[in-house]
Chains A and B, each alone.
Chain A
Amino acid sequence: MPEETMLSVLEDLLKEEDILAVMLARKNEISVSPSPDKFKLRDPSIFALLQSTMNDFFAVIEKFSSQGLDKVYFELGNYEVMFFLISGDTALVSIIPNLANKGLLEVEMENTRLRIKELIRTGV
């Protein structure tokens, strides 16, 4: 079995039909994401906008992280964005359709978060 990397974990999650785009966002660092040509977004500018504003999000997220902030959701037109915090400055972010079965996708988001935490722990 090929060795698991951050990118391979994200690509695995992106294979889900309703995960339209995904990234591992890190404050003040370049985010890790599969190649945008693998994304299923009708409007790719949403991902670019999200990517470019991540540091602004982290400024808010950091203020709440000590209070146990774990997940953030917001609706964006025909999409919904899910943030699963990995630490105060790292988050798993995915874009899904607004009529997706979010609960089922959350389970696989959680599995991805666990795999990323394990990769961070083992220093891969």
Chain B
Amino acid sequence: MFSASVGLSRSWEPFEAGEEIAINTLEKLEGRPNFFLVFPTIHFEKNNGFSKLLEGIFSQLNKNTPLLGGTVAGFINPKGCYTRGVTSLAIDDPTIDIAVGLGHNTKRNPKLAAEEFSKAIKKKPMENQNNILFLIMAGSTISETIFHRKRYTHNPVISSILDKIYPLYSYIFQDGLGRESELLGTLSHNFSEKMIGVSAWDDNMAFRNYQFFGNKVLKNSIVGLRLHFKYKPIIKYEIPLNIFSEKLKITKKDKLNYFINEINNEKATNVFFNELKIEKKYLTEELLRKITLYFPISVYEGNTLLGRVIGLYSDNFLASMSSIGTNEIYISTTTGGNILNSFNKVLQGGEKANFVLGMSCAAILETLGSNVFEVRKIIEKKGINNFLILFGGSEYFKTETAPISCQESSAVIFF
């Protein structure tokens, strides 16, 4: 018999919050959990708070229960919509088989991290049909010391060399791009499973994020589950983006496909703002924030338009949060209405599921603001009673052949 239970704590005290979510998650669960997922916001970070949070959970949870998780920007659960607190999910179903995986140093060497993760998962033999990989990876980060809250760097040194020294910088400091696409590429080579996941994130500052595995608090890691079901779980996704610009051609970029230097043989930043009809002299950081949310770069993969949020702007590059494998790009746009429609579509059919687990983007949460309560109304109107929607750095899903990592989308799994 399938049973899923979602917990919530709004306590600021991490041990107490951990204890509280373990109690209120387990008391509603009908049996013993196959696994326990935990998603706090970044607010517990100070004074070793995440370790205390996990201690609080394990003061109530059997230490042999696999625990995984990551920091998120916010979440919607049956109790409400929150951008501060901690939520959890435990599932009990004797027919579900699980294997857990962990890979380190995702930013230093994503391929090696994905191989380490795959090896751990494959230690446990499992039937190959009806499987899902559920993944939580380290999200991208921006140096707080260098950039503070600003996203347009006018520093001529950073502007002229960051894209060139980035691979070395990332290797040494393990700071910067999450490189989720590269991790997914290796995982897709190693597993035929459908996939769904989210990048760990903070309060949308992109300064830091954490992953959890058992009682370990990690950075720059991938944690996840391989789940085997007796039935076929459904994974769906929706992307609320429309094309805004003409087709643009990248004519110069870095080797990792994240830094766009030139578009149509001109400086990428100039072309980007020309397309938006914004003179750079009038550009403020406040305006830039709105542009970042409402006008991501987009690329087609097959017939699907995928969003790539620009994380950093400079005179010499636009830095994308996800790799851009193609040279044909668009500037796309979205609206609050589009976003709500996309939730309406992606949640269609959720009322028939035992449980709905959703992944969406922190950029969508920031765009919606308090209108995120409208998403909860959509969920309630559909009669979906047991659910958890997470908002992280990037979302990933694989429903057909190729895995996808993008921003400004929503993906769900119906159990």
A residues sitting closer than 8 Å to B (CB atoms) are: 12, 15-18, 71, 75, 97-99, 101-111
Tell me whether B286 and A106 are in contact (CB under 8 A): no
Q: Which 8 pairs show the lowest CB-CB distances between chains A and B? A: A103-B366, A103-B369, A106-B369, A110-B370, A106-B370, A99-B149, A104-B83, A101-B204
Tell me whether B368 and A103 are in contact (CB under 8 A): yes
Contacts of B166 in A (CB 8 A): none
Tell me whether B203 and A101 are in contact (CB under 8 A): yes
Contacts of B369 in A (CB 8 A): 102-104, 106-107
Give 1 or 0 for each of B58-73: 1 = CB within 8 Å of chain A CB: 0000000000000001
Tell me whether B204 and A107 are in contact (CB under 8 A): no
Q: What total of A-B pairs shows CB separation below 8 Å? A: 58
B residues sitting closer than 8 Å to A (CB atoms) are: 12, 43, 73-74, 80-84, 149-150, 203-205, 285-286, 289, 362, 365-370, 372-373
Asked, given contacts A15-B12, A106-B370, A110-B370, whether A99 binds B286 with beta carbons under 8 Å apart, the answer is yes
Interchain nearest-CB distance for B268 vs A (Å): 24
CA of A106 to CA of B83, assembled, Å: 9
Tell me whether B205 and A108 are in contact (CB under 8 A): no
Tell me whether B84 and A103 are in contact (CB under 8 A): no
Tell me whether A110 and B365 are in contact (CB under 8 A): no
Contacts of A18 in B (CB 8 A): 203
Tell me whether A107 and B83 are in contact (CB under 8 A): yes
**Which residue from chain A places its CB closest to the CB of B367 in the assembled complex?**
A103
Tell me whether B370 and A99 are in contact (CB under 8 A): no
CA of A106 to CA of B203, assembled, Å: 12
Tell me whether B370 and A107 are in contact (CB under 8 A): yes
**Which single member of A97, A99, A111 contacts B150 (CB below 8 Å)?**
A99
CA of A75 to CA of B370, assembled, Å: 19
Interchain nearest-CB distance for A6 vs B (Å): 17
Tell me whether A104 and B365 are in contact (CB under 8 A): yes
CA of A116 to CA of B285, assembled, Å: 33
CA of A16 to CA of B83, assembled, Å: 10
- From B83, B150, B362, B373, name the one whose CB has the most chain A CB atoms within 10 angstroms: B83
